[in-house]
Each structure stands twice: as structure tokens, then as C-alpha cells.
Chain A
Amino acid sequence: ETGVTQTPRHLVMGMTNKKSLKCEQHLGHNAMYWYKQSAKKPLELMFVYSLEERVENNSVPSRFSPECPNSSHLFLHLHTLQPEDSALYLCASSSGTSGLADTQYFGPGTRLTVL
């Protein structure tokens, strides 16, 4: 148990569906991250939020839409996905304390399958 929870743990959706992934951290952190891990590929950083403000978007297609309503919650809204978007989506958080070695704590991930 890392203090970062993700729901759902598994999701199957069609290409025309709209769904959302939820992440919640119970660590009092100020920074939150979305990563994508496809089969046999390294983790890819998608989005970074600091104090609810998006500070990085790594050229992610617009069919992925993040939302950070407060420092404890992070969402990833999905619409019109493609089969190649099937992957493990991981959320992480860090304290966000500037200038210090800042460990990221990962959630268990959501296994997404797009049919």
C-alpha cells in the first residue's frame, strides 16, 4: 500500500465509449503524474500537475484529457480511444517540495483494454 489508489483496476471499453480513470493520494502531496506503460515498452510520462495546475503535457493526443480538481485527486478522461491505447495507466504523486530529492509514489495502475 503506497498511499496512492486508482480506480478502476481493470477497464474494457469500445472505441466510441467515454470513460474516466481516477487517482487519489492520501499522502498530502502537491504533485501528481499520469504515466502510460504499454506491453514491452518503458513507462511514458503523460501529464504532470503541480498544485492542481498542469505543468507538463508530453505531446499526448487530445483523446486523453486530464483533470486535477484538488491536490488529492487526479482524473484521466478517455474518449474515442484506439486499440493501441490499451496499456497500464499509472498514477503517481510526490511531495512537490522544490529543490529536494522528491520520491514518486505510484498507484497500482488501471489495466485498460480498448476493443
Chain B
Amino acid sequence: LAKTTQPISMDSYEGQEVNITCSHNNIATNDYITWYQQFPSQGPRFIIQGYKTKVTNEVASLFIPADRKSSTLSLPRVSLSDTAVYYCLVVSYGGATNKLIFGTGTLLAVQP
């Protein structure tokens, strides 16, 4: 499983766009890039997943360059409620179950 590296923490202000970059140099052909969000004392929540180029949903955008060795989660106009830990994971699929390996994540602190 490919190891991921992301900043330990980031600070932002309400209304700003936040970009969190993750590196995954050893990503394999069958791997997807997945991001989860976790609030204190809650389980992680799926945000977005992509394989290449750009994926956008109602919560975030995910940018993946052609070499797929990194990815950037973009949160538009963050609010105080976006303060959470954001995990970047590389996930391999193909069996009946998938194995998620969580790192320490990025603690995003949004200030007023």
C-alpha cells in the first residue's frame, strides 16, 4: 500500500479557499486517492475520491496531476464547521473488502 504524506496542520480563516496537498509517490496503477474528514470523537466521513485529473462534488474538489504522485483537496470558502482532521488515503480495490490505512492526517483550524 502506498504511503501518504500530508502537512500535520493548517490554519485558515472563514471564507477562504483551503488547499491540502498529499504526496503518494508509490501509488500503484489500481489505486484510488480518497479523502476522509473526522471531527473530534466521531468516525471519519468520506469526502471525495478520484483516480486522475479533477473530481468535484458538493463538498470539495480533488485535483490529481498526470503522474498521480500527489493530489490536492480543495475546500471552497471554509467555515468554522470545517475545522477537522482531513485524511488522505490511497486505496486498492479488487477484493470484497478494502483496507484503509490512515496516517495522522491534517488538522485544519478555521478561525473567524
Enumerate the 10 nearest inter-chain pairs by beta-carbon distance, A residue then B residue, closest first.
A106-B43, A43-B102, A50-B96, A31-B97, A42-B102, A103-B46, A90-B43, A96-B96, A50-B97, A98-B96
Q: How many A-B residue pairs have CB under 8 A?
A: 70
Q: Are A96 and B45 in contact (CB under 8 A)?
A: no
A-B contact pairs, 26 of them (CB 8 A): A2-B43, A2-B45, A4-B43, A31-B96, A42-B102, A42-B103, A42-B104, A42-B105, A44-B102, A51-B96, A92-B43, A94-B97, A96-B97, A98-B95, A99-B94, A101-B32, A101-B49, A102-B93, A102-B97, A102-B98, A103-B34, A103-B49, A104-B46, A104-B98, A105-B46, A111-B41
Chain A residues with CB under 8 A of B95: 98
Chain A: number of interface residues, binned into ranges? 20 to 34
CA distance A51 to B32 in the complex (A): 24
Which of under 10, 10 to 19, 20 to 34, or 35 or more describes the interface residues of B? Answer: 20 to 34
A74 interfacial contact with B, CB 8 Å: no
